[in-house]
Amino acid sequence: MDKVSFAVYPGETVAIVGESGSGKSVTALSLMQLLNTPPAIIAGGKVDFQSAQLGQVDLLQLPEKQLQKIRGNEISMIFQEPMSSLNPVHTCGQQVAEVLLLHKRISKKEAKKRTIQLFEQARLPRPMQIYDTYPHQISGGQKQRVMIAMAMACEPSILIADEPTTALDVTVQAHMLSLIDELRVKENTAVLFITHDLGVVAEIADRILVMYKGRIVEQGKVLDIFTNPQHPYTKGLLACRPKLTTKAQSTLPTVADFMEEDEQGNIREKKPQVYEPSLVDVVNAYVGTVSGIKQQRDNSQKPHLLQVQDLQVYFPIKKGIFSRVSGYVKAVDGVSFDVKHGETIALVGESGSGKTSLGRAILRLVEPTKGSVLFEGRDIASMNAETLRQNRRHFQMIFQDPYTSLNPMHTVGEAILEPMRVHKLYGNEKERRGKVFELLDKVGLSAEHAQRYLQAFSGGQRQRIAIARALALQPKLLICDESVSALDVSVQAQVLNLLNELKREFNMTYIFITHDLAVAKHMADRILVMHEGRIVEQGIPAQIFQNPQHDYTRSLISAIPSGEPEAIILAQQKREAMKAGVPVVAN
């Protein structure tokens, strides 16, 4: 972060956007002196804040005791990685109630009641049960909603939201953005919204700051940024994200297609070949249903790689001091589908719908309650431990949270090298290390990163490392569990391009678990929609998006932010009306 200056006014939402490593989170953390430990140093500047308790203060000059009165109370933050931010030895409810007890003069009973209300507002299922649930027992999206409830508990005057909707599906994302906006209007709260996805902030921000390598390279009103971006970096960010109009499985543009930088840091704009939908594309989108059906017929002639039959995953609900089973959570409830060689299946649905449990059960990372999983005709569920270990190289998973799926005691190089050693791939150690460098290059990192430890990387960079590790074994089936949700749009485009290249080159097969329907449409040959542990609709992307049959599917599609100028103008008008106290009538 270098010479960053900006202001946020009461009742205003300012979005900071940029790629992973651009300085967005560092900027936010430094505001509350959360970086005042080596090697991070705040070399200068000031952060003026109008505190209700202390008056006008410079946050960088406040002693720790006074800062504690402000943190979590007047200034609250939703952190990027909920699993590493929540305490694993305390229940979710205890952690939110603790914030209320610390800053508000209320009893434990009142704190619990208020916490359950916050969980209900955050659309957490079974809020009273989740109060007594530990973080590892709920999904990534549910953990993120617990963090949002915690941040909003004291109704702060400034809410810093660091990638708050990254792990959320589109319907919950829309609700959480609405909830944050209600807090802004009700309490005149200022919101600093940090994200790598310009599409998310298109309709909820007043102004946008674009950061690149620690500097603000462009800023302005939302509509101006979207309709007339000036900096090549901003143009690249806008073009990289898959849209519902983007041609399926095409090569997505990246920031590097828009700009190049010399050794002195001077940026030169490039003129990329960017895909833009035309009248022909609109016609092709309609005709795409026919070609999609033909592709589906072609796929049906291929042999099965995976057959899932009546799969069930039930988790017991235990109560009392004797932990008696009082019921079951039906995470996966009688799911059947098949996957052909070289096919990409997208599994979409809300957080808690059973997507991740289904993916884990297929690989026997979670033991199925009932059903069978046939991989190349062999039932994974009946394999003994040694046979399963030998076959694991053929089916790999890229997990949602890279920080908990990679060993922080290993260097990045060792983490990628380890599975190749276990399965004795590539002949010798020299060839394996060469493969490590090749994989790092493929996911947008460099050979020098192999010697670093996981904590030295941003969230997006960690996910790229996890993808490289999964690819090291050249699996036949790769289950991607929200594998690009933590990545900035340019790197997301690189990874999606890479996965499509690998599919074409090696005839790879994917099960792509995602809450981003635009990504699902771009990647998939078929889409399976999950709701409450069941598949409620499936078909080729053209059929799903043009003629959805189930109400749940229609609600998912309607919640996708378009980012179109008309939608931005309408959203800005509604925001102004809400701020003025004028009732907004939905059309």
| Residue scoring higher pLDDT (42 or 382) | 382
Q: Can you give the CATH number for the domain in which 147 is found?
A: 3.40.50.300
Q: What is the structure's pLDDT at 585? A: 40
Higher pLDDT among residues 232 and 323, named by residue: 232
The Cα–Cα gap between 501 and 441 comes to: 14
At which of 181, 210, 229 does a domain end?
229
* Whole-number average pLDDT of the chain: 84
Residues 293 and 207 occupy one common structural domain: no
Q: Three-class SS of residue 451?
A: helix
Q: Where are the beta strands (DSSP E) in 19-71?
A: 48-51, 55-58
In a domain, 565, yes or no: no
Residues 459, 482: Cα–Cα separation, whole Å: 13
Where are the extended beta strands (E) located within 137-292?
158-162, 190-195, 207-212, 215-221, 259-261, 267-269
251 lies in a domain?
A: no
Together in a domain, 465 and 532:
yes
Ranking 437-441, 452-456, 559-563 by mean pLDDT, the lowest is 559-563
Residue 322 belongs to a domain: no
Residues 213 and 301 in one domain: no
Residue range(s) defining the domain that contains residue 186: 13-229
Look at 30 and 218; give whichever has higher pLDDT. 218
Say if residue 298 is in the same domain as residue 205: no
pLDDT digits (tens, 9 = 90+) for 497-525: 888 888 887 788 999 998 888 889 999 99
411 falls in which pLDDT band (50, 70, 90)? very high
In a domain, 268, yes or no: no
Same domain, 67 and 163: yes
Q: What letter represents residue 316's amino acid?
A: P
Residue 185 Cα to chain centre, angstroms: 26
User: Helix axis angle, 489-506 relative to 459-471, nearest 10°?
Assistant: 10
> What confidence tens digit (pLDDT) does each residue in 308-351 have?
999 999 988 877 776 787 788 888 999 999 999 999 999 998 87
Residues 142 and 39 in one domain: yes
The helix/strand/coil state of 554 is helix
Domains: count for the chain: 2
Same-domain status, 202 and 296: no
> Are residues 292 and 421 part of one domain?
yes
Q: pLDDT, tens digit, for every residue of 273-298? A: 554 444 444 454 444 445 545 555 55
Asked whether residue 238 is assigned to any structural domain, the reply reads no
DSSP assigned state of 411: B
Q: 163 exposed, middle or buried (CB, 10 Å; 0-12, 13-18, 19+)?
A: buried
Examine the fold and report which residue of 189, 208, 229 is the final residue of a domain before the chain moves on. Answer: 229
Q: Are residues 345 and 493 in the same domain?
A: yes
Task: Please report whether residue 4 resides in a domain.
Answer: no
CA pair distance 494, 487, nearest whole angstrom: 10
Where would I find the H helices in 344-458?
Answer: 355-362, 385-391, 402-405, 412-422, 429-442
Q: pTM for the whole thing?
A: 0.73
Same domain, 185 and 294: no
Q: Where residue 482 falls among pLDDT bands split at 50, 70, 90? A: confident
pLDDT in tens, 94-109: 999 999 998 888 999 9
Shared domain check, 176 and 41: yes
Q: With cut-offs at 50, 70 and 90, classify the pLDDT of residue 372.
A: very high
Q: Is residue 276 part of a domain?
A: no
**How many CB atoms lie under 10 A from the CB of residue 238?**
21
Among 201, 229, 257, the domain-final residue is 229
- Looking only at the bridges linking them, the beta strands covering 215-221 and 207-212 are antiparallel
Q: Which residue has the tokens 């229609």?
A: 554
> Which candidate, 275, 278, 233, 289, places its Cα nearest to that of 256?
233
DSSP string, 157-191: SEEEEESTTTTS-HHHHHHHHHHHHHHHHHH--EE
Residues 6 or more apart in contact with residue 428 via CB below 8 angstroms: none
Same-domain check for residues 300 and 197:
no
Number of H helices and E strands in the chain, helices first, is 23, 20
Establish if 428 belongs to a structural domain: yes
Q: Who's near 435: CB < 8 A, 6+ residues apart?
A: 420, 425, 426, 472
Name the β-bridge partners of 78. Answer: 161
Q: How far is CA 286 from CA 1, 246, 274, 523, 560, in A?
A: 47, 14, 22, 18, 20
Contact 159, 192 (CB under 8 A): yes
